[in-house]
C-alpha cells in the first residue's frame, strides 16, 4: 500500500494521481495533525499497524517552503513530522520517502533561509536513520505544474507581475536552476523507489537554465519583454552559478520535458484557469 501525507499539495496531488488507485491512501490532515509533537512516533506506529508489509511505502509530501514563515514553523512540519513518521514506520517495517531541496548542497550551514535550514536538518537525520532504516530522501529541484506557481517562488513572482502588467525586477539572473514538471518527477520518484534506493538522492535531469534566460523566454511568449528589468536587484549570496548536477543512473531512460517550452505552456494553462 502507498500512503501519502500531504496529499493536498502540488507534489502530494501528483503522487495520488499517479499511484495505483486501489493501492494508495491519501491520509487526511486530521490523521497526522498530532504527529509533529514530541514522542509521537508511538502514535504513528499504532496507526500504521494495519499497513505493515514489505511493499508498503509512506510518502511525506507535506511541508513548508515559504521562507517568510519562522524557523520553528518549518522545523515542526519539515523535520518533526518526518522524524516521527520515520521512527513510527520503522517499527512496522514500512519504507519512507522524504523530500528535500537541492539547495541543501548549495547554501551554507549558516543560511538564514528557514526552509533550507529545516531541510538540511532533515537530511542529516535521514543520513543517520538510513543506517538502520529504509528511508529515501529525494532532493528536489524547482517544481512547476499542477496549478499556478507558488507566489513566493521566482516563477510565481514573475507570473504575478505578468498578470498585473507590472515591471518585474530581478537580478542579473545568472543563477542556474533545474525546473521539473511535477508529473515528470513523480514518475522519476517511483523509479527510484522501485530500485530500492535509500539515503539522499539528487533528483536531477542535468539540463539547468539561467534565470535570466527563463524570464526572457516567458516574457517574450507573453509579449511583455519591455516590462522585464534584468539586473535591477542584487542576487542572494549563496547561489548556484556554475554547478550542473548529474542525472542519477537509476532514472534509466525517463524523459523530462523541455524547461522553456513546458514552463510557458504551464503558465498559459494557469492563465486560462484563472479566466474560467
pLDDT 10s digits, 178-193 = 999 999 999 999 999 9
Whether residue 160 sits in one domain with residue 39: no
Assess if residue 202 is contained within a domain.
Answer: no
Assess if residue 197 is contained within a domain.
Answer: no
Residues in the chain, overall count? 276
pLDDT 10s digits, 43-65 = 999 999 988 776 899 999 999 99
Domain encompassing residue 86: 1-140
For residue 275, the model assigns a pLDDT of 53
Q: What is the pTM of this model?
A: 0.94
Per-residue DSSP letters for 71-132? HHHHHIIIIIIHHHHHHHHHHTT-EEEEEEEGGGGTS-TT---HHHHHHHHHHHHHHHHTTT
pLDDT at 274 over 70: no
CATH of residue 130's domain is 3.40.50.720
Whether residue 133 sits in one domain with residue 3: yes
pLDDT at 131 over 70: no
pLDDT at 272 over 60: yes
pLDDT at 276 over 50: no
CATH of residue 244's domain is 3.90.25
Amino acid at each position: 500500500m502507498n500512503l501519502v501525507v500531504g496529499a493536498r499539495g502540488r507534489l502530494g496531488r501528483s503522487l495520488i494521481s499517479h499511484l495505483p488507485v486501489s493501492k494508495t491512501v491519501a491520509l487526511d490532515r486530521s490523521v497526522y495533525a498530532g504527529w509533529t509533537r514530541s514522542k509521537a512516533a508511538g502514535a504513528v506506529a499504532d496507526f500504521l499497524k494495519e499497513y505493515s508489509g514489505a511493499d508498503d511505502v509512506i510518502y511525506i509530501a507535506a511541508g513548508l517552503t515559504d521562507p517568510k514563515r519562522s524557523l520553528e514553523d518549518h522545523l515542526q512540519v519539515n523535520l518533526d513530522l518526518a522524524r516521527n513518521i520515520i521512527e513510527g514506520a520503522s517499527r512496522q517495517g514500512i519504507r519512507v520517502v522524504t523530500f528535500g531541496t537541492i539547495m541543501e548542497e548549495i547554501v551554507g550551514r549558516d543560511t538564514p533561509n528557514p526552509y533550507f535550514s529545516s531541510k538540511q536538518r532533515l537530511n542529516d537525520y535521514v543520513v543517520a536513520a538510513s543506517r538502520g532504516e529504509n528511508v529515501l530522501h529525494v532532493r528536489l529541484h524547482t517544481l512547476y505544474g499542477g496549478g499556478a506557481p507558488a507566489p513566493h517562488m521566482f516563477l510565481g513572482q514573475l507570473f504575478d507581475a505578468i498578470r498585473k502588467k507590472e515591471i518585474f525586477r530581478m537580478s542579473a539572473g545568472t543563477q542556474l536552476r533545474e525546473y521539473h514538471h511535477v508529473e515528470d518527477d513523480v514518475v522519476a520518484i517511483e523509479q527510484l523507489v522501485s530500485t530500492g534506493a535509500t539515503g539522499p538522492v539528487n533528483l536531477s535531469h542535468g539540463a539547468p537554465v539561467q534565470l535570466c534566460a527563463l524570464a526572457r523566454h516567458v516574457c517574450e511568449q507573453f509579449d511583455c519583454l519591455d516590462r522585464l528589468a534584468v539586473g535591477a536587484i542584487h542576487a542572494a549570496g549563496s547561489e548556484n552559478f556554475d554547478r550542473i548536477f548529474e542525472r542519477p543512473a537509476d532514472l534509466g531512460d525517463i524523459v523530462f520535458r523541455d524547461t522553456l517550452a513546458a514552463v510557458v505552456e504551464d503558465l498559459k494553462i494557469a492563465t486560462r484557469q484563472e479566466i474560467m
